[in-house]
Chain A
Amino acid sequence: MFAMPSGAEIQSIISTLRFGAGYFIPELYLSALFMVLIILDLVLGGRKNQILASATIIGLLGSLFFIFQQHSLPDAEIFFGMYALDRFGIFFKYFFVLCGILAVVISMEDEKLNSQDSGVGEYYALVVAMVIGMMMMASSTDLLMMFLAMELVGLSAYVLTGYLKSDARSSEAALKYLVYGAVSSGMLLYGFSLIYGLTAQTNISRISMELTQHGYDPLVMILATLLVMAGLGYKMGAVPFHFWSPDVYEGAPTPVTAYLSTGSKAAGFALLMRIFFVAVPHASEGVEDMLGIDWLTIMMIIAAASMIYGNVVAIWQKNVKRLLAYSSIAHAGYLLLGIITMDKIGTQAVLVYLAGYLLMNIGAFYVVVVISNKTGSENLDDYRGLGRKMPLAGAALTVFLISLVGLPPTFGFIGKLMIFSALIGKGDLFMWLALIGILTSVISLYYYMFIPLNMFLRESEQNSRGEVKTGMVSNVITAVLMILTLYFGLFFQPIAQFAGYSASILGAVLN
C-alpha cells in the first residue's frame, strides 16, 4: 500500500526523530528508569521494598533536572506533530514527577502494601510508567498519541489498583476500573474517529485549521465532542462519568488512591485543556451549531453537576477514603470552572489549583495511611479521639481538610480565589457558576469537618490514653506537607507566577 520511501526521505525522517529526541529527554530518561527498576527487582533478592522505593525516588528526582533543562528550549512540535514541548507541558511534567515521588513516599509508609507476601516487585516500575504516560497525555498534540498515552496510564493504573492480591475489594476495584475504563476508551476513540472523519487530520492544530476553514456538520461535531468529553470525564472523575471512582478509590491501596485521584485526574485536565483549547471551536467564535449548544455549555453543566453531586453525596460517607473520593469528584467540578473561562487567567488558576490539590490531597491521604497503620481502619468512627493520641497527624489532617474546603490561610484557598477571580473577571456571565461553587464549598465544610470532629471532639471507646508513637520519618513528612500547605497559602507568588508563565499552550490563543 505504502510506497517504499526513498533514501533521502529516510534520512529526513531520521533527522526529525533525532531532533525530536532532544526535546524528549525526560520521557526517555524515565523509560530507562522504568527498565532499571524492573531489572533491579529481578536481580535483588529478599526484602527489597525500601531499596526499590528509594531508587524510584532518586530516579524521579533526577528527572527534575532534565525537565529543568527544557526551559531553555523553544516551544516546538516534534515527531511529525505527534508531540509538543511547551511551557504548559513542562508544568505538568514537574507536576507528575512530584506526584509520583509523593505516591512513592506514601507507598513506603503503607504497611498493608508492604506486608504483602508477593512483595512489591513491579509496583514502583508501574508508578514510573504512569508518570511517563501522564506526561505524554499532557504533551501530545495528536489524537492517536493522546489515546496511546491514556491507555498507558490506564493499564498501569488497573494493575496498581488491584495490587493487594489477597484483598477482595482491591481486586473488585481493579475489575470495575478496567470495565469502566474500557468503555470510556471506546467512547473516546469513537469521538476521535468522528473528528478524523470530519477533518482527515489527527494533529490538533491542523484539525482546528480544517474546522475553521472548511466548516463542519455541527451535529457530528457536537456528538464527537460529547464522546471525547465522556472519555476524558472518566479520567477526571467528573459527573456523570464518576461512577467508578468511589468504589475504586475505596478498594485500591491508599497510595494508589492518592496517586489516581491527583495524578490521573490532573492528566485528564491537561489533555482536556489542550484538545479543547486548540482543536475544538466553540460558539463564541461565531460558529453556532444547530442544537444551540457547544462544548462550553456541556462543560458548564458537568462542572455544576460535579460540584453539587460530589459535595452533597459526600455528607453520608462513613469511610474516609470514600469521603475523599466524593470530594475529588467535587474538585473536578471546581477545576472545570477555570477551564470554562477559556483565557489565560483561567488556565493559570487551574494550574495553581492543581498544585494546591497535589499538596493537600496527597497530604490528606498520607495522614490516612499513617492513621490506618496504627488503627487498621479507615472508618470515620475509628477516628474518635485520635487527635489526642496523634496530635501531629490530627493537626495536619485538619489543615489539609481546611485547605480542601478552601479556607485561608491555606493553599486550597488560593486555588479557589484564582478560580473565582477568573470567573468574575468575565463579568456576570458565569456568576451562577461562582455561586454554585461557593455554596457547595460551604456544604463541603460540613462533611470535611466530620473528620476533625471525630478526632478532637469525641473520645474513643477504648480508654487507651497516651500518644501513639509514629515514626520520625513520617512525622517529618507530615509536618513538611502541612507547613507547605500553609506556607503557599500565604506566599503563593512563586507558584502563581510559574503557573502564569506556564499558561501557554502551543497552538492555543489565550487572552
Chain B
Amino acid sequence: MLSLIVFLPIIAGLIILAVPASQKQIIRIVSLLAAVAQGVLAVLIWRQYDPTMAGIVAAPGGSPVGSFQLIERIPWISLNLGSFGPMTIEYFIGVDGLSITMVILTALISIIGVLSSWPIQKQVKGYFILFNLLSTAMMGCFVALDFFLFYVFWEVMLLPMYFLIGIWGGPNREYAAIKFFLYTLFGSVFMLLVMIGLYFSVIDPVTGNHTFSLVAMADQHNYVAGSILGPGSVMWRYAAFIVLFVGFAIKVPMFPFHTWLPDAHVEAPTPISVILAGVLLKLGTYGMMRINFPLFPEVYQAGLYVIGIFGAINIIYGAFCALAQQDLKKMVAYSSISHMGYVLLGMAAGNSEGMLGALYQMFNHGTITAMLFLLVGVIYDRAHSRQIDKFGGLASYMPVYAGLVTVAWFASLGLPGLSGFISEAFVFVGAFTAPVTRPIAMVSVLGIVFGAAYLLWSLQRMFLGKRKPDALYEVETDGHGHEHIHFHDWNGKLDLDARELTMLIPLAIIVIVLGIYPMPIMGMLTASINKLVTVLAPVAAAAVH
C-alpha cells in the first residue's frame, strides 16, 4: 500500500507520456486522478495507523517490525565487497508518527498542487510528467527507511524542480532555478559521504552485516567501535553531524542558507510555490528529525543552543524581511522562513513539548502556507501584479477572497482557535521549559509580534481602506455621476471561482478544525515524539562515549 502511494504519480506520469500533447484535459485529469487516489490511500493509511506504536528505532531485538508500520522490505542490491563483506541495499519503507504526518500532508498538497496547475497552458504534458515525478520523490523521501533509498528520492526531487521553476517560472527563472539546484545539491553531496561513512560504521544487529537501514543507524549500539563514525570518533561524528545539518538546513531553509528561497518562490508558478513551501521545506526538518539527530544524539545535545539561536534568527530575521517586502509573494516567502524558525526552535528545546510542537508546526505550516501561496496566486492571476501598495479595499469587491485571506493570515500569525496557534504554543512551552533554550525563546517571542505586524499591515493595506483603481480596474464616471468599473483581465470572474474554492475551502476547514481539535494529527505523533526524545536524551548519548 505504501509503495502504491509512492509510485502512483509516476504511473500517472508514464500514462501521460503515452497521451498526445494536444490532449491537455486528459493529461490534467490523469494527474488529478493519481493525486486523488493518493489522497484516498493516505486516508486509508491514516485510519489504519496504530498510534501506540512508536517507531523511530527498532523494536527490542533489532527488528523494525512491531515498531514501524506498513513495512515493505525487499532486498534490492546485494554485492560482495570483499573485505567489507556483503553490501546490501534494501527497498525498505515504512511509517511511524514522524512520517505519517508528512505522508498525509504530501498527499493533501499534491491534490492542491494538481488543481492549482489547471490553468497552466504551456507544455502541459511536460509539466505534469515533471510534477508527478516530483510528487513521487517527495512521498518516497518521507517513507524511506533505507538511507540509500532516501538519498535517491532526495536527489530525484532536484531535477523536476529545476525544470518546473526554470520553464514555467517568471522572468528571472533561469537564475532562480539554477540557484535552487546548486544550493540543494551542495547540501546533499556531503550527505552522500556521510551516508557511505555510516554504512561502514553500522552493523545490522539481525543480519550482522553493514547496512544502510536508518532504523539500525538510529540505535547507537549498532555502531562499530573504531569505525570512522563509530563511538569515540568524536571529530568525524561532529563533522558528519554538521554537514548533514547544513544539508538539511539549506532545504529548511535556515539563515544564512535561505537566499535561494525568496528567489525560487518569486519566480516559481503558484502550484510549484505551494509544493515548495508546503512539502519541500518540511523535508529539511523531517531529515533532521529522522536522520540528523537520532544518528548523532550526543552532537545534537551539544549543539542544542546553536540550533536554537539559528531558529531565533530565522524567526526574527524572516519576520523583519517580510515586513520590508513590497511584493506579496516575497513577503509570504519570508514569512515561511520565519515560521520554519519555530520548527527549529522546537527541535532545539529537545523535550517532548518542543518536538511535538515542531512536528505539528511542520504540518500546519504546510497547510497554512499552501493557502497563503494559493491566495497570492489568485490576486496575481487577476491583476498580474503582486505589489502590495497597488491594492486597496479589495474586501469590498472580493468578499469571499478577503474572508479566506483573513483566515489564512490569522492562522499564520498564530491566532488562538486556528491551527498555527497550537503548534507555536507547544514550541514555546517546550522552549521555555528547557533551560538551554529559555533565553532564546524569550527573544523569539518578539517574532510573533513582528509576524502580526507584517501580516496585519499587509491585510490592512490591501483589503481595507480605499480602493486603488490602477491595479485591478479603472473607474469611469458617466454623465449621471454613476461609477462604472472596468476590470483588467477580468474574464468574467473576480472573486474566487469553483476550482479555487475547492482548493481553499478544505484547507481552511483543516486549519480551523485542527486549531480547535488537534488530536486527529497530534494523536498520531505523541508516541513517536516521546520515543524520539528518549533516543535523543543525554543519558542515551552518554552511552556512546
Contacts and interface: CB of A to CB of B under 8 A. Distances in A.
Interface in A426-455: 427-428, 434-435, 438-439, 441-442, 445-446, 449, 452-453
Contact of B82 (A391, A446, A500): A500
Interface string B160-176: 00110011000001100
Contact of B79 (A343, A441, A500, A511): A500
B174 A438 contact: no
Interface residues of B, number: 39
A344 B185 contact: no
Contact of A425 (B84, B167, B189): B84
Contact of B197 (A409, A424, A456): A424
A407 interface: yes
Contacts of A424: 193, 196-197, 200, 228
Interface in A483-500: 490-493, 496-497, 500
Contacts of B189: 438-439, 441-442
B169 to A, nearest CB: 9
Interface stretch (B98-106, B148-156, B339-347, B517-525): B148-156
B193 A434 contact: yes
B49 interface: no
25 contacts: A344-B82, A398-B159, A407-B155, A407-B185, A408-B155, A409-B156, A421-B87, A421-B200, A424-B193, A438-B189, A438-B193, A442-B182, A442-B186, A445-B185, A453-B174, A456-B163, A457-B167, A457-B174, A457-B177, A493-B78, A496-B77, A497-B79, A500-B80, A500-B81, A511-B82
Contacts of B178: 446, 449, 453
A492 B182 contact: no
A438 B190 contact: yes
A442 B82 contact: no
A420 B196 contact: yes
Contacts of B200: 421, 424-425
Nearest to A441: B189
A345 B200 CA distance: 13
Given A407-B185, A497-B79, 10 more contacts: A343-B82, A345-B84, A388-B123, A391-B126, A408-B156, A421-B200, A424-B193, A442-B189, A449-B181, A452-B163
A486 B87 CA distance: 21
Interface of A: 343-345, 348, 388, 391, 398, 402, 407-409, 413, 416-417, 420-421, 424-425, 427-428, 434-435, 438-439, 441-442, 445-446, 449, 452-453, 456-458, 490-493, 496-497, 500, 511
B82 A449 contact: no
Interface in B187-201: 189-190, 192-193, 196-197, 199-200
Contacts of B490: none
Contacts of B173: 457
Nearest to B159: A402
A413 B188 CA distance: 13
Contacts of A425: 81, 84, 200
Nearest to A420: B196
A348 B190 CA distance: 23
Contacts of A344: 82-83
B167 A428 contact: no
Given A457-B167, A497-B80, A427 B228 contact: yes
A344 to B, nearest CB: 4
Contacts of B84: 345, 425
Contacts of B182: 442, 445-446
A445 to B, nearest CB: 6
B457 interface: no
B71 to A, nearest CB: 21
Contact of A345 (B78, B82, B192, B197): B82
- The interface centre, meaning the residue of A344, A413, A442 with most chain B CB atoms within 10 A of its CB, is A442
A511 B81 CA distance: 10
The 4 A-B residue pairs whose C-beta atoms are closest, nearest first, are A438-B189, A408-B152, A344-B82, A457-B166
Contact of A438 (B83, B181, B192): B192
Interface string B81-102: 1111001000000000000000
B304 interface: no
B192 A496 contact: no
B236 interface: yes
Given A493-B77, A493-B79, A445 B181 contact: yes
Contacts of A496: 77, 79
B502 to A, nearest CB: 31
Nearest to A440: B189
A413 B162 CA distance: 19
Given A442-B186, A456-B166, A497-B80, A407 B193 contact: no
A493 B81 CA distance: 12
B158 interface: yes
